[in-house]
Homo-oligomer: A and B are copies of this chain.
Amino acid sequence: MDRSDYLKEPVNHIKIAGTLTVDQLMQQFSNSGSFGAGRLAAACDTYEKMLKDPECTVFLGLSGAVVPAGMRTLVADLIRNHLVDVIVSTGACMVHDAIEAIGGHHYKGGWAVNDQELYKYHLFRIYDLFVPEEDYVKLDFKFSDMYTDIARERKGESLGSDEFTYEIGKRLEDKNSILRAAYEENVPIFLPAVRDSEFGFIHWLHSSQQQDQQDVLKLDAFKDVPTICGICADSSKNGMIIIGGGVPRNTIQSSTLASKKGLDYAVVITMDRPETGGLSGSTLEETVSWGKMKGSADHVMVIGEALMVFPFVVASVTERLGRDFKRQPFLQRTKQASKGKTA
């Protein structure tokens, strides 16, 4: 590069005069273009491109307390508007969704509290939120029966995690539920670590109550592997948005690797850092060496708390797309679908 190549774009300074829409401010971040503000603006640009690219399948990875923090409706709406095509989540995120779907709540609280008193009161704390134990108990019994119902309907079949979430979504009524919205819109939800959540402990309760082994719900740990890889393989392009990291990020990236596609677009929002060698904080550059992401991919890592950052991204992109934007469900754009939905 010549020296002048480095000096092409002077920073334009942000100007806030009166009321701004979210995207008006984001466009200014684009012009200033540096540090976190520049990364945030780039995340909006990348997500917008994914959505406008008719060949791209959009994977959303969910980890952390997305639902308790207030993003339940936001995610459900993304599903209903087909602004995400596939979800890969921790078990806990869907447990939290299920708790609210059957009438439970998360409550605003604080973090400088007496946890021994909370324990005495049977209140569980998630950083600065509380959730009463009785909502978990209610979930345990209601879902234990639901497991029996699913086992009977699927007649001893071992399900993949996407089929499991499909069957649950089918049995929920709450329109704001992520699981329900995904069921209705044929958006698969994969839970690669489903066992590591209340869903696993409910299974223990459920299985101990069945007289007939046929009534015990079976989940095949490996069954969803070819399903998600098939989705990647059948998509001309693949993009991902990661809230946090962990198993969901690893599963999506490994799927684009195993399907020999490599991501075309990637947005990661995380507070983790690369130096520990853990996957959650690893740079997107590193994924190129594996073939998980193409070297040419449009990608950005936003260093920030996802529950603060992601709503700004969604608001900005929603504003850009406008009311008339329509996006086809991915099933109409790709050949492959998870078994649950086509069943």
Using a CB–CB distance below 8 Å, which chain A residues touch chain B?
Answer: 1, 3, 6-23, 25, 28-29, 31-40, 63-65, 68-74, 77, 92, 105-109, 111-112, 115-119, 121, 123-130, 132, 158, 161, 176, 192-197, 200-201, 203-204, 207, 218-222, 224-226, 229, 244, 246-247, 250-251, 254, 258, 271-280, 282, 285-286, 288-291, 295, 303-309, 311-312, 314-315, 318-319, 323
Complexed CA–CA distance, A304 and B286 (Å): 22
Would you call A11 and B107 a contact (CB within 8 A)? yes
Would you call A282 and B195 a contact (CB within 8 A)? no
Would you call A289 and B68 a contact (CB within 8 A)? no
- Partner of A38 from B108, B161, B196, B279 at Cβ < 8 Å: B108
Would you call B220 and A218 a contact (CB within 8 A)? yes
Could you jot down 18 A-B contacts, CB within 8 Å? A1-B117, A11-B106, A11-B108, A16-B74, A16-B315, A20-B21, A20-B22, A34-B127, A37-B305, A37-B311, A64-B276, A115-B295, A118-B288, A119-B290, A124-B289, A200-B221, A201-B225, A220-B221
Residues of B within 8 A of A108 (CB): 8-11, 33-34, 38
Residues of B within 8 A of A39 (CB): 275, 308
Residues of B within 8 A of A308 (CB): 29, 35-37, 39-40, 304, 309
Residues of B within 8 A of A111 (CB): 274, 286
Would you call B23 and A285 a contact (CB within 8 A)? no
Complexed CA–CA distance, A311 and B16 (Å): 8
Task: Report, nearest first, the 6 A-B pairs whose CB atoms are least far apart.
Answer: A32-B70, A36-B308, A36-B305, A193-B193, A118-B289, A13-B73
Would you call B38 and A112 a contact (CB within 8 A)? no
